[in-house]
Structure 1
Amino acid sequence: MLRSLVRRAAISSASPSANPHTLGPFQVFDRNAKRIQKNRAALKEGSRTVDYVREEVADRLMERFLDIKRTFGTILDLGSGSGHFTKLLEPEKAQKSVMMDSIRRWVAPARNVTHLYLAPVQVERIHADEENLLQTVEPNSQEAIVSCLSLHWVNDLPGTLIQIREALQPDGLFLGAMFGGDTLFELRTALQLAEIEREGGLSPHISPMTQTRDISNLMGRAGFSLLTVDVDEVKVAYPDMWALMDDLRAMGEGNALLGHRRALRRDTLAAASAIYPALHGNEDGSVPATFQIIYMIGWKPAPSQPQPLERGTGKVPLGEVL
């Protein structure tokens, strides 16, 4: 999916006479449908028990942030949601967090969020679309940009990464976490097998995710330097498939593929709920759900950064090292 995205963007920028229907980023997700889903999730914030995945990922992302030996004045929390990363910030690492999200309720100035009022850093909120970052922030203006589980819903991921790099100051930091391609593979296989058995075909019911191998290439194409990409997993046990699907809806992580999506029949869902534990079930009767997380670190190039030596200047033969 991402390789076709990059090719589509390249054709659009390189061929002014191309077919106008091919111009612009390839549209995979219905952003309006996704906003509706997230708004519903934000309205159910009386109890955020479903946010344990985001909280766990934010905690692991913070570990990587703390490993960076630098203090920042302001951090832009891109696609902040309700502030899972921001609430973990300490004044020793940053004095201020700017939360930016496309869901107004999550960044409303008067929003009564206890854990953010208790946050030891200053918090500013901006309602804006992360796909159009440079319409809100100036180029070369940000010390650091962090994104925790937001970028997997943008249509133009290569373009968004380029905007992030453009928004950063020279030697500015980008730190991100997003769902990877193996996320919810247990649910995918159960639904696919059930649909083939009961309906004689397949249609997408879980949104496509970025493959790990594509991230380094996309970060490099976007112009980042000193790249670090690693992969981790968060495994959660559920009583059954129905509980998992309820949680995904409550998290605002339902399917948002663009275009018509044929709803699964009741008997297909019933078959999937039986296939799921048969293929992947735990010994205690619960079913696992795997969330693959891709973590990425990149820096905007600057003359002060470490530079590789020129080719041929090495003094130790590679054979001796090996």
Structure 2
Amino acid sequence: METPFDQDLIAARRRRAVAADDRHATFLADLAAQELAERLTVVERNFDVAVELHGAIGSTSQLALATGKVGSIMRVELPGGYLAGAGSVMEAPLEELPLEPASVNLVISPLALHLSNDTPGVFIQIRRALKPDGLFLAAIPGAGTLQELRDVLLATEVELTGGASPRVVPFADVRDVGGLLQRAGFALPVVDAESYIVRYDSLFPLMRDLRAMGMTNPLKDRSRKPLSRSFFLRAAEIYAERYSDPDGRIRATFSIIYASGWAPHESQQKPLKPGSAKARLADALKVDEIKLEK
């Protein structure tokens, strides 16, 4: 199995990020937590036992409890890579879900699944951990995230060295995530995406935020050669040339895929079998039906 991400490095950067506790850089996690809580609010169900997967700062657990839809919540976190907050904590690696089969009613995953080397396997573990008719909610950084930074770093490296190495992680698109839900056996899957534009004075505060989020490059195939100050100065110039607004500030795109799926249960709606309709579409539309030959 291909393993593009360095899990030890991901854990180390998560620990460094939470140790710094830069609340200015939690805006993306807070956005995802608020959106997940709003989506939970409109579900006509209550969930006795919920789990948050690798949220790190605990805002998702806090807002989920505030909806009144959740009885109790437990957090699964990387060892040492989280802040104290709502809910008890169980430590586990990113790709292992330490839950018994059919043991919880709700699993919420904010902004972590894109870093797994076995995302299909994690989805299957989540589905198995859910009780029948249990709900899975996830926020996953998707295609388009940091597209400007990807372009700028590539252009800078080609210009200065004549080559390039991967410096921004690949992100899944909406169709990929929908396919993963179906492959894992979730019923009634729903997937959509929201894009958020964040503006910065220059490339450098953007890079500081990414470090504070623990979102810097964790690819195994990344270049180990340190980048010079002149590299980043040139990258900042290219960024400003290509992606600045009239006031001189630059744009950074963060695209988040929101996904939901249910553990199968006999009470859930089922699609009708082909040919089982009791009324014709032509009658409903009050038009004449035109039959094709053969």
Q: TM-score, normalised by structure 1?
A: 0.84
Match of 1:41 among 17, 22, 32: 17
Q: Which of these residues, 159, 163, 167, is aligned with residue 205 of structure 1?
A: 167
Alignment of 1:98-117 (within 5 A): 98-106=74-82, 111=84, 113=85, 116=86
How many angstroms does 1:315 deviate by?
2.4
1:233 maps to 2:195: yes
Shift of the alpha carbon at 1:267? Answer: 3.0
Q: 1:124 and 1:265, CA in 2 relative to 1: closer, same or farther beyond 3 A?
A: same
Gaps of 5+ in 2: 286-294
Change (3 A) 1:320 1:55: farther
Alignment of 1:49-198 (within 5 A): 49-88=24-63, 89-90=65-66, 92-106=68-82, 111=84, 113=85, 116=86, 123-133=87-97, 136-198=98-160
Partner of 2:246 in structure 1?
Answer: 283
Bigger shift: residues 259-268 or 157-166: 259-268
Counterpart residue number, 1:293: 256
Aligned AA for 2:99? V
- CA distance in 2 between partners of 1:63 and 1:189 (Å): 33
Q: How many residues align?
A: 283
| C-alpha deviation, 1:103, in angstroms | 3.5
Cα pair 2:11 2:81 within 8 Å, conserved: no
Contact 1:198 1:267 survives alignment (8 Å): no
Q: Which letter maps to 2:199?
A: A
CA contact (8 A) 2:141 2:255 kept: yes
User: Secondary structure of the equivalent of 2:82?
Assistant: helix
Distance 1:313 1:75 in 2: 38
Q: Give the letter aligned to residue 264 of structure 1.
A: L
Paired residue secondary structure (2:189)? strand
Q: Which runs of 4+ in 1 moved over 6 A?
A: none
Tell me the distance in 2 between the aligned counterparts of 1:58 and 1:251. Answer: 15
User: Residues 234-267 of structure 1: CA distance to partner in whole angstroms, max 9, x if unpaired?
Assistant: 2211110011011100111110001452443433
Per-residue CA deviation, residues 6-61 of structure 1 (Å, 9 max, x unaligned), is: xxxxxxxxxxxxxxxxxxx320100001111111111112x411101110111111
Aligned partners of 1:197, 1:147: CA distance in 2, in Å?
39
The corresponding residue for 1:270 is 233
Structure 1 103/290 Cα, relative in aligned 2: closer, same or farther at 3 Å? Answer: farther
Q: Which residue of 2 aligns with 1:120?
A: none
Please list the CA deviations of residues 294-318 of structure 1 after superposition, one character each: whole Å capped at 9, or x if unmatched.
0000001111111112221112334
When the two chains are superposed, the root-mean-square deviation of aligned CA atoms in Å is: 1.6
**Alpha-carbon distance, 1:194 to partner:** 1.3
C-alpha deviation, 1:321, in angstroms: 6.0
Larger mean CA deviation between 81-90 and 138-147 belongs to: 81-90
CA spacing shift, 1:180–1:105, aligned 2, 3 Å:
closer
TM-score w.r.t. the length of structure 2 is: 0.91
- What amino acid maps onto 2:95 in structure 1? E
- 2-side partners of 1:312 and 1:260: how far apart? 54
- Structure 1: stretches of 5+ with no match in the other structure: 1-24, 117-122
Query: CA distance change for structure 1 residues 200 and 318 in 2, over 3 Å: closer, same or farther?
Result: farther
